[in-house]
Amino acid sequence: IVKLGADPVVKNPLLMPLSSPISSNNTSALFLSGENIQIMNGTIVSPDSSIGANTYIGFNCHVTRANIGSFVSIADGVFIGPGEHSLSEISTSSIFYDEPYSVLTEGECNIGDDVWIGAGCIIRRGITIGFGAVIGANSFVNSDVPPFAVMAGTPAKLIKFRFEKDFQEKI
């Protein structure tokens, strides 16, 4: 990214979905917020997202308007914050929205540091996943996840905590 006056000018913009893996060590993008970030082929990341250092995102993922922490591992085929259509309107078609992207992506997704999300998961809009949590493969997360929780299923339910409460507080 090069600054030309007050506006940034993007040289060689990333095309989505990615046709080859990228690393923040040799690629610049607005959503890369640290070093040693790896994103694999077929993944789509919206430019209004943020991805922290030492994070891995697998093949064929979709990340929409999300804040992802550092040291996060996201397996293949994960959808974070896909658009959601309003059920209270006359029609669910986004053609009737004045600003479709804003309406469909209302509510940020926040993924804390040191989170592991298994393959094939869907994380709904507006969800927060706490520090150190683990989401089992093929889970549908439709409510906030506490720190260090291990959650799995459709919808995702608490299986256990990774550590006892006193050890969690020390971490």
The residues annotated as belonging to the active site are 85
User: Is the bond leading into 17 cis (omega within 30 degrees of zero)?
Assistant: yes
**Count of alpha carbons within 13 angstroms of residue 70, beta-carbon side:** 6
Q: CA-to-CA distance for 116 and 131, rounded, in angstroms?
A: 10
- 46, 49, 55, 1: which is closest to 23 by C-alpha? 55
Angstrom CA distances, 63 to 79, 95, 131, 157, 162, stand at 6, 22, 19, 22, 26
- Token pair 């309107």 is found at 89
Give the tokens for residue 97. 């929205």
Q: CA-to-CA distance for 40 and 56, rounded, in angstroms?
A: 8
Backbone φ and ψ for 104, nearest 5 degrees, come out as: -70, -25
Q: For residues 118 and 136, is the Cβ–Cβ distance under 8 A?
A: yes
